[in-house]
Structure 1
Amino acid sequence: VFSPFWPPVHTETVSSPRKNAAVDAERDRMNTTEWFRSVYEHVTLPTIYTFVFIIGLGANVWGLKSLLQKWKNLGHINVFLLNLGIANFLFLPTLPFLTAYYFMRNKWIFGDAFCKITRFCFNLNLYGSIGFLTCISVHRYLAIVHPLKVMGRMTVHNSVAISVVVWLLVSAQSLPDMLFPKNSTNRTEKCHHTTTTKYVENYLKYSVGWTLTGFVMPLLIFLGCYGHVTLVLCHKNTINKVVKQRSLKLMFILILLFSVCYIPYHIFKNLSLYSRAFFFKHGKYPTWDEGVFSAHQISRGLVCLNSVLNPLVYLHVMDISAQLQQLLQRFRQTFTRLNC
């Protein structure tokens, strides 16, 4: 093990102050990183998980209940909405365990097998949500651009078959993640969300391929669909004004989901993995590692917000705004009676 102060101080002449300054700067950087890791991972991140669990569970239960009540009126898109809700419910029950893990300062007490299951459920939620949001986007695209030619051939069986294919693809992409170790040999109570430093180079290659197939390709499909839809809505005067407004609102919701939850997570996850692989190979981190590390930690909190933002898709597609107005009106009437 080489000390940062080797060779001894008495052999240094002119370069000694410069080296000492570099060591001090490196120590300050490590202290700042450790402080951020401590505060964010052990306070902020579990707080976000608690918020997502409470709000997300309530919002998704209400959304799926409304979906089942309006099942026959929605058409084939209800199958994709149902699967989007299932993807959320696969992840939400694991949040109390992750909250306990980070509150206990990264001490996992639930076993290695359940650690891998928890991370697997997160990946199913993430990439299942991306897949079914893409299906909803394509469905809306076909309904506006090809309402008779293509949509006339769509059946419930087709929607179910597409959903099965999405789940199979997402599972096939996520299963290799379970083969990587999630705890260190000397720290068996850890539960890494990627893998240990020893296997980080192989995991980086897997993660890049996973990102391309599970995120970039759906993102390109989404951009292509709504780019074409925007052109059609702008140039066709025969389309109903209400249809235009609803399509643009759905596009805004999906852009919000991709921009806040999905894009930052995938960018900074892969950059962080590359930084760890660089350290494993060269014995030092890149100069930009500190900023990427902080951004990656923040993106981990943002990505789980998709379980809270996904019900906005229910709200839009099922037009639950009318139900909200009725609930508010009943609440006002009840409050007025109580005051009287």
Structure 2
Amino acid sequence: LMKHSTGGYLSKGFEYKFLPSVYLVVFILGLLVNGWGLKSLAQKWKKLGNVNIFVLNLGLANMFYLPTLPFLVVYYFKGSIWIFGDAFCKITRFCFNLNLYGSIGFLTCISVYRYLAIVHPMRVLGRITVTHSVAISVMVWLLVGVQSLPDMFYPKNKGKIPKCYHTTSTARIEDYLIYSLGWTLTGFFIPFLITLSCYGHVIVILCRKNSIQTDTKQRSLRLLFILILLFSVCYIPYHIFKNLTLWSRVLEKQKICRDWSNGAFIAHQISRGLVCLNSALNPLVYLHVNEEISAQLRHSLSQLIKEMYQSFV
């Protein structure tokens, strides 16, 4: 076991093998699926509806983060030695936060709009325009930017060996824990409750009303499953173990050691790998919000399978 620079103990080499492997896979897969999704939306630019504006911004949030992953791969392959400068380190971490909380914000917007369309269709029909969606999207970006900006003012690199801390150095850890808890509340927990409430109500309505088409019910249930998957795998573990690890570092600074601190730290490293998967999983939302994109994918896949079959025959 070795002492980690951010507090806690872990098996030697775990972080340097796990994280770069995940980042590399997400980088390749994320560029492919997000590039395809954004291209499909761009082809239907004039037909973009209210919800598709949020889907477009969801894809943009992913594309802000994906180009930074190769630099993080190099960082962890080199044993947490950052060679790209302190300013770019902060930009890289800022892009991660824009992606994470931008994704959560736009998934919440999609959930609210789906809720209004299914539960209150007559009240919102024609009243919510594309202009409203654009204005809300701008507000989401501003809110995410304001929440993420303070993170850039915390030191990310202390000591002789150049680092690029995910959070901050031990000197400011108490302040950062308070900031992180507030950030978790406003950037994750409140949007999560809104999403949960919206889809909980939607499921109740879908189960009660026989007038709603079976296709609409199935698409809504599939989208709910995707959101549950995203929150359960990517978002919930990350926020729990991030704050637990920060707390354990505060206790360690006060010369108080807890038996769970090592487990929390390792779990946090795993959750960091899982949270970046949202950039590869978010495009699943494209397929269940936009019918034309889903149909286009099915057509492309059938053509690909047909061509492969003919080449073998």
TM-score tier by shorter-chain length is: over 0.9
CA offsets per residue over residues 6-25 of structure 1, 9 Å max, x none?
Answer: xxxxxxxxxxxxxxxxxxxx
Question: Residue 316 of structure 1 aligns with which residue?
Answer: 288
Query: Which amino acid letter does the alignment assign opposite residue 162 of structure 1?
Result: I
Question: Residue 79 of structure 2 aligns with which residue?
Answer: 105
Question: Residue 286 of structure 1 aligns with which residue?
Answer: 258
Q: Verify: 1:307 aligned to 2:279, yes or no.
A: yes
Q: 1:208 aligns with which of 181, 204, 211?
A: 181
Question: Residue 297 of structure 1 aligns with which residue?
Answer: 269
Contact 1:265 1:303 in 2 (8 A): yes
Contact 1:134 1:218 in 2 (8 A): yes
Task: Tell me the CA shift for residue 334 of structure 1.
Answer: 2.2
Question: Residue 7 of structure 1 aligns with which residue?
Answer: none
Contact 2:112 2:198 in 1 (8 A): yes
CA offsets per residue over residues 55-97 of structure 1, 9 Å max, x none?
Answer: 0011000011111223444521111111111100110000000
Contact 1:67 1:82 in 2 (8 A): yes
Task: Tell me the CA shift for residue 29 of structure 1.
Answer: 8.8
Q: Verify: 1:123 aligned to 2:118, yes or no.
A: no
Tell me the distance in 1 between the aligned counterparts of 2:125 and 2:166: 41
Contact 1:71 1:78 in 2 (8 A): no
The structure with the largest alpha-carbon Rg is 1
SS in 1 for 2:115: helix
Query: Which amino acid letter does the alignment assign opposite residue 80 of structure 1?
Result: F
TM-score normalised to the size of structure 1?
0.87
Tell me the distance in 2 between the aligned counterparts of 1:299 and 1:336: 40
Task: Tell me the CA shift for residue 291 of structure 1.
Answer: 1.2
Question: Residue 20 of structure 1 aligns with which residue?
Answer: none
Question: How do 1:16-27 and structure 2 match up within 5 A?
Answer: none
Query: Which amino acid letter does the alignment assign opposite residue 267 of structure 2?
Result: A
- Given the superposition, is the C-alpha separation of residues 240 and 337 from structure 1 closer, same or farther in structure 2, using an over 3 Å criterion? closer
Query: Which amino acid letter does the alignment assign opposite residue 122 of structure 1?
Result: F
Question: Residue 138 of structure 2 aligns with which residue?
Answer: 164
TM-score normalised to the size of structure 2?
0.94
SS in 1 for 2:163: coil
- Given the superposition, is the C-alpha separation of residues 238 and 63 from structure 1 closer, same or farther in structure 2, using an over 3 Å criterion? same
CA offsets per residue over residues 37-62 of structure 1, 9 Å max, x none?
Answer: x3222111101000000000110000
Question: Residue 80 of structure 1 aligns with which residue?
Answer: 54
Question: How do 1:320-331 and structure 2 match up within 5 A?
Answer: 320-331=293-304
Q: Verify: 1:179 aligned to 2:153, yes or no.
A: yes
Q: Verify: 1:275 aligned to 2:248, yes or no.
A: yes
Task: Tell me the CA shift for residue 337 of structure 1.
Answer: 3.4
Which stretch shows the higher mean deviation, 250-259 or 234-243? Answer: 234-243
Task: Tell me the CA shift for residue 30 of structure 1.
Answer: 6.2
Tell me the distance in 1 between the aligned counterparts of 2:54 and 2:301: 29
Q: Which runs of 5+ in 2 are unaligned?
A: none
Tell me the distance in 1 between the aligned counterparts of 2:138 and 2:232: 27
Question: Residue 208 of structure 2 aligns with which residue?
Answer: 235
Q: Which runs of 5+ in 1 are unaligned?
A: 1-27
Question: Residue 12 of structure 1 aligns with which residue?
Answer: none
Question: How do 1:50-61 and structure 2 match up within 5 A?
Answer: 50-61=24-35
Task: Tell me the CA shift for residue 219 of structure 1.
Answer: 0.5
Contact 1:142 1:151 in 2 (8 A): no
Query: Which amino acid letter does the alignment assign opposite residue 277 of structure 1?
Result: V
Tell me the distance in 2 between the aligned counterparts of 1:212 and 1:262: 13
CA offsets per residue over residues 176-223 of structure 1, 9 Å max, x none?
Answer: 000100011x23511100000111000000000000000000001001
Question: Residue 224 of structure 2 aligns with which residue?
Answer: 251
Query: Which amino acid letter does the alignment assign opposite residue 304 of structure 1?
Result: C
- Given the superposition, is the C-alpha separation of residues 120 and 152 from structure 1 closer, same or farther in structure 2, using an over 3 Å criterion? same
Contact 2:80 2:163 in 1 (8 A): yes
Task: Tell me the CA shift for residue 244 of structure 1.
Answer: 0.9
Q: 1:218 aligns with which of 181, 191, 199?
A: 191
- Given the superposition, is the C-alpha separation of residues 145 and 74 from structure 1 closer, same or farther in structure 2, using an over 3 Å criterion? farther
Tell me the distance in 1 between the aligned counterparts of 2:256 and 2:19: 27
RMSD, aligned α-carbons: 1.7
Query: Which amino acid letter does the alignment assign opposite residue 244 of structure 2?
Result: L
- Tell me the percent identity: 63
Task: Tell me the CA shift for residue 321 of structure 1.
Answer: 3.9
- Given the superposition, is the C-alpha separation of residues 207 and 325 from structure 1 closer, same or farther in structure 2, using an over 3 Å criterion? same
SS in 1 for 2:122: coil
Task: Tell me the CA shift for residue 276 of structure 1.
Answer: 0.0
> Aligned pairs, how many?
309
